[in-house]
Chains A and B, each alone.
Chain A
Amino acid sequence: MSADYYRQMARIRRFEETVLEQFSSGLFYGTTHTYIGQEANAVGVLSHLAEGDIVFSNHRCHGHFIAYGGDLRALFAELMGKPSGVVGGIGGSQHIHWRDFYSNGVLGSTAPVATGAALAEKVQGSGKLAVIFLGDGALGEGVLYESLNIAALWQAPILFVLEDNRIAQTTPIELNLAGDIAARFAAFGIPVAELDSSDLTEIADAAAPLFGELRSGGGPQALVLHTARFGPHSKGDDTRDEAAVARLRAERDPLTIHAATLDEAERLGIEAEVADEVAAAFAQAQADPEHQP
């Protein structure tokens, strides 16, 4: 298990590093938002997912998608705008859908949609639940609060995961947010767990009882994860103090933290395999044909 979690995080890390390395080569269209530093959130939370559960994601969706089980080649191809992409190159980096996974780059707009999706599962008695990932920046959007109210009123089986990396694009949380994050959920009567950690095991453990509640018929739950973004918001647009970002990398890298549970040889083996896997996926996507409109 532990090794598998490490592999998943390493896969996200290597995928995102490749995206950043290759962006300047002109192979990718549009923009991207990498998940480097936050890998433990997606892998830890989604480790509890069951077949048919729904995931809604935001602009920073690559990590969520890969942790969900999404295909690396298809995601590279999507960024390259190719027919073999996750959604045929139409959505691009922020707008993907595969199986029960959906993302949209309009902040907060996914909250009512995910709530409605969860309600549909409830109405149809499928026993499935929805998980939605939101950033701290999305807390500025009004429709989120309308959705929390409705999710609580109508007891939607949904887990709101709030990834607080203390920044939205370039604006630090101090300039974006008044009051408390967890209290926002609590105000709607939504049970909320809160954690400041980059340790996958701690995150997975914190999420476990929330999934338990949802699976036993409970209404909405919230998980506030204080986390750290290591890379730029998009590409080359990090306005933060370099030393502060370096400190974050040194102190709370989820891969380094989780590596302590593995022996060195095993870890190196996983890293080598993942590097090959990602390189192969990239090469395949690169070789895939372009659209011929």
Chain B
Amino acid sequence: MERLNQALYSAFEQDARVHLIGEDLLDPYGGAFKVSKGLSSAYPERVLTSPVSEAAISGVAGGMALRGLLPVVEIMFGDFSTLIADQVINSLTKFRAMYNGAVDVPVVIRAPMGGRRGYGPTHSQTLEKLFLGVPGLRVLAPNTLSDPGQLLLDAILRDPGPVFFVENKLLYLKEVLGQEALAEYQVEQNTPTDSYAATTRLQIQGAPKPTLTLVAYGYMAELAREAQQRLAFEHEIFCELVAPSQLAPFGADGALDPLLLASIQRTRHLLTIEEGSYSLGWGAEVAARAAQALGPALQAVQRVAAAEAPIPASVPLERANLPGVDDIVAAARKMV
């Protein structure tokens, strides 16, 4: 959370074209999840607290971007991203292509997603899969293994846009893992490019050769890391964990993030992990591309995801609905 807040400050400081639009942004409140705290005091002219109009503010941001500004939109709960779908799909992501490359649409739409807080069926969802596969839309989701602030800053200042930036609510409470916290891992990180944002691969130092690739993004990367530990120390199953921060686009012609592809080529077993509901999700696309790339060399694929039912408010029922560490461990044990 601090990293994201700091990134917004840096963006405002570095470029006067940056504006923030969203509901309840003004201090002392500073947005429902406080990511925008302080900004309205520091930059009162450039923080626009808006009516409860998700469709319009995303479109307004699109218009601002067409005309030379760098707008950032905060959607209070990611669940309400359904209301921006038309603007994102039929306007913001269309302009560059349908106007024959003559315009850029540097909009970043930030949306907190995810459950485990008892907010119930319409305030707990992980809906980004609805936006994956929309041509022209980059979907990013930070995790604790690489700097979320840098990811956001680059999206705001350097991406020709539009970008859908997914922030898991529970990640707001987590610290980014520094060198010390990661000391027990062998860490591999890519150099972010125009094609792929930051991806991190973790493997426990000194462990035997991994036989399974866990791939997870956002908060699920945290849970997957816990599962990686338990699998190693309780079940002697050794995994590589790959945590991409770019969910879309995947790359042309069936491409896969090179770090992820290399991992699957080594382990030949793939477990995809996401908090969205099971069918037709991100994991399905990863699995399909892994199968395309490896052919018969790919020995097993499984998916861990949320149940296909509305997320209950009751905490024990919610826990049963959403994927947890136990689910990852159980799925992995069936595979190797």
Which residues of A come within 8 Å of B, CB atoms? 54, 87-88, 90-91, 95-97, 102, 104, 106, 109-121, 123-124, 142-143, 146-147, 149-150, 153-154
Q: Please state if A90 and B100 are interface contacts (CB–CB under 8 Å).
A: yes
Q: Please state if A113 and B66 are interface contacts (CB–CB under 8 Å).
A: yes
A113–B90 Cα gap in the complex (Å)? 12
A113–B64 Cα gap in the complex (Å)? 8
A13–B90 Cα gap in the complex (Å)? 30
Q: A113 and B51 in contact (CB under 8 A), knowing A120-B68, A143-B86?
A: no
Q: Please state if B98 and A116 are interface contacts (CB–CB under 8 Å).
A: no
B120 interface residue (CB < 8 Å to A): no
Q: Of the candidates A91, A102, A116, A147, which one forms a contact with B64 in the assembled complex, judged by CB atoms under 8 Å apart?
A: A116
Q: Please state if B56 and A123 are interface contacts (CB–CB under 8 Å).
A: no
A-B residue pairs in contact (CB < 8 Å), sample of 18: A87-B102, A91-B98, A96-B99, A104-B90, A106-B86, A109-B59, A112-B59, A112-B87, A115-B60, A115-B63, A116-B65, A116-B67, A120-B63, A120-B67, A124-B68, A146-B51, A150-B51, A153-B51
Least CB distance from B191 to A in Å reads: 33
Give the residue among B60, B64, B87 with the most A Cβ atoms within 10 A: B60
Within 8 A of A (CB), among B237-281: none
Smallest CB gap from A105: residue in B: B90
Q: Please state if B59 and A116 are interface contacts (CB–CB under 8 Å).
A: yes
Smallest CB gap from A54: residue in B: B67
B143 interface residue (CB < 8 Å to A): no
* Interface residues in B, total, Cβ within 8 A: 33
Q: Please state if A117 and B51 are interface contacts (CB–CB under 8 Å).
A: no
Within 8 A of A (CB), among B31-79: 48, 50-51, 53, 55-69, 71
B19 interface residue (CB < 8 Å to A): yes
Q: A147 and B90 in contact (CB under 8 A), knowing A90-B100, A120-B67?
A: no
Least CB distance from A100 to B in Å reads: 9
B211 interface residue (CB < 8 Å to A): no
Q: Please state if B56 and A102 are interface contacts (CB–CB under 8 Å).
A: no
B207 interface residue (CB < 8 Å to A): no
B97 interface residue (CB < 8 Å to A): yes
Q: Please state if B55 and A142 are interface contacts (CB–CB under 8 Å).
A: yes
Q: A109 and B66 in contact (CB under 8 A), knowing A143-B59, A146-B56, A147-B59?
A: no
Q: Of the candidates A88, A90, A112, A121, which one forms a contact with B60 in the assembled complex, judged by CB atoms under 8 Å apart?
A: A112
Q: Please state if A95 and B98 are interface contacts (CB–CB under 8 Å).
A: yes
Q: Please state if B86 and A112 are interface contacts (CB–CB under 8 Å).
A: no
B91 interface residue (CB < 8 Å to A): yes
Smallest CB gap from A147: residue in B: B56
Q: Please state if B91 and A113 are interface contacts (CB–CB under 8 Å).
A: yes
In the bound complex, residues from chain B placing their C-beta under 8 Å from that of A112 are: 55-60, 62-63, 87
A101–B55 Cα gap in the complex (Å)? 22
Q: Of the candidates B57, B64, B71, B86, which one forms a contact with A109 in the assembled complex, judged by CB atoms under 8 Å apart?
A: B86
In the bound complex, residues from chain A placing their C-beta under 8 Å from that of B19 are: 123
In the bound complex, residues from chain A placing their C-beta under 8 Å from that of B60 are: 112-113, 115-116, 119, 147, 150
Q: Please state if A113 and B63 are interface contacts (CB–CB under 8 Å).
A: yes
In the bound complex, residues from chain B placing their C-beta under 8 Å from that of A119 are: 60, 63-64
In the bound complex, residues from chain B placing their C-beta under 8 Å from that of A88 are: 100
In the bound complex, residues from chain A placing their C-beta under 8 Å from that of B307 are: none
A87-B98, A114-B63 known; 16 other A-B pairs, CB under 8 Å?
A: A90-B97, A95-B94, A97-B100, A106-B91, A111-B59, A112-B62, A112-B87, A113-B87, A116-B59, A116-B61, A117-B63, A120-B63, A124-B67, A142-B55, A146-B53, A146-B56
B313 interface residue (CB < 8 Å to A): no
In the bound complex, residues from chain B placing their C-beta under 8 Å from that of A110 are: 91
Q: Please state if A109 and B87 are interface contacts (CB–CB under 8 Å).
A: yes
Q: Please state if A118 and B63 are interface contacts (CB–CB under 8 Å).
A: yes
In the bound complex, residues from chain B placing their C-beta under 8 Å from that of A97 are: 95, 98-100, 102-103
A117–B19 Cα gap in the complex (Å)? 13
A95–B61 Cα gap in the complex (Å)? 19
In the bound complex, residues from chain B placing their C-beta under 8 Å from that of A111 are: 56, 59
A77–B63 Cα gap in the complex (Å)? 27
Q: Please state if B66 and A117 are interface contacts (CB–CB under 8 Å).
A: yes
In the bound complex, residues from chain A placing their C-beta under 8 Å from that of B61 are: 116
Q: A117 and B64 in contact (CB under 8 A), knowing A87-B99, A97-B99, A150-B51?
A: yes
Smallest CB gap from B67: residue in A: A120
User: B88-116 vs A: 1/0 string, CB under 8 Å?
Assistant: 00110011011110110000000000000
In the bound complex, residues from chain B placing their C-beta under 8 Å from that of A146 are: 51, 53, 55-56
Q: Of the candidates A87, A90, A117, which one forms a contact with B67 in the assembled complex, judged by CB atoms under 8 Å apart?
A: A117
A106–B95 Cα gap in the complex (Å)? 12
Smallest CB gap from A120: residue in B: B67
Q: A106 and B56 in contact (CB under 8 A), knowing A90-B97, A97-B99?
A: no
In the bound complex, residues from chain A placing their C-beta under 8 Å from that of B91 are: 104, 106, 109-110, 113
Q: Of the candidates B55, B63, B71, which one forms a contact with A143 in the assembled complex, judged by CB atoms under 8 Å apart?
A: B55
Q: Of the candidates B62, B86, B103, which one forms a contact with A116 in the assembled complex, judged by CB atoms under 8 Å apart?
A: B62
